[in-house]
Homo-oligomer: A and B are copies of this chain.
Amino acid sequence: MKKWKRSARLVDMTRQLLDQPHRLISLSAFADRYQAAKSSISEDLAIIHETFREEGTGLLETVSGAAGGVRYLPIANRENATKLSRQLCAQLENPDRILPGGYLYLSDLLGDDRLVREIGRIWATVFSGRGADVVVTVETKGIPLAYATASHLGLPVAIVRRDSRITEGSVVTINTVSGSSKRLGSLSLARRSFPEGARVLIVDDFMKAGGTVQGMIDLMGEFRAEVIGIGIMAESQVDERLVENTVSLATVTDVDVKNRKIAVELGNLFTQGGFFDGTNPD
């Protein structure tokens, strides 16, 4: 049996915890692995918790009792979440994003693994404790955000398709109407994606009037699933919104195609009544 030094034990425990967010690890499992007393393990866990907490990247949650243990919860604190979202706003304001019709090019942001991972950390913080069973998104650009969020919550991902493919097996399909352009479309999800009654967290990259998100909510109804939250990276300010209760990091208030200017503000996650609105102590 390998003899672990305390310094190596701290490194290895940190690695194991970071690698398995939201997964409960028993103190006995750690004690066995490192051939150490539970009291020593507890001391180490206290150091790890304190270090994570001070950097605002996560914390350890201890569950007592026979089935107890410790789990790592990735966290974005208010300071880090605000800083990241301000950076996102600044990037969104780059006029090179403007496409014909006032659409915005976002693929570079969604291709940036580090940015995507930090956005996922914010959603994991906001929706932690709501008991989600699965993260759901619609192809294509929402997928990286869904995986980033799911990895921080230790959950699986289910992807809604715009066209049903043979490789999905039997699917449930609903028809949709885009809220902004009144275009018709459809959304499909494989029947075996998750069991009936699952609690789902919806994540997407961009929302205008909310036709697609409303379609996803309707589709979840067909699975008798409960939508426990909706996280949107950036939303467009519109007069008529189809969906309420979405949470956004950034709000695009104006796209001036002629003068090539985009105006972006922090999303409703940071405004009054939002999760990071400044009224919470931390």
A interface, CB within 8 angstroms of B? 2, 5-8, 10-12, 14-15, 18-20, 44, 47-48, 50-52, 54-55, 57, 99-101, 103-108, 111-114, 116-117, 134, 139-141, 143-144, 147-148, 150-151, 154-159, 161, 166-169, 190, 192-193
SS class of chain A's interface: helix, strand, loop or mixed?
helix
- Count of identical protomers in the assembly: 2
Given A111-B159, A144-B143, A166-B99 contact (CB < 8 Å): yes
A11 & B159 in contact (Cβ 8 Å cutoff): no
A sample of 16 cross-chain residue pairs with beta-carbon separation below 8 angstroms, ordered by A number, consists of: A10-B10, A10-B14, A11-B51, A15-B52, A99-B169, A100-B166, A105-B168, A106-B167, A107-B168, A108-B192, A111-B158, A113-B147, A113-B154, A139-B140, A143-B147, A144-B147
| CA of A90 to CA of B150, assembled, Å | 24
A12 & B151 in contact (Cβ 8 Å cutoff): no
Query: Which residue on B lies nearest to A107, using beta carbons?
Result: B190
Chain B contacts for A101, CB-based, 8 A: 166
Task: Please give the distance in Å from A23's CB to the nearest CB on chain B.
Answer: 9
Task: Please give the distance in Å from A1's CB to the nearest CB on chain B.
Answer: 13
B192 & A157 in contact (Cβ 8 Å cutoff): no
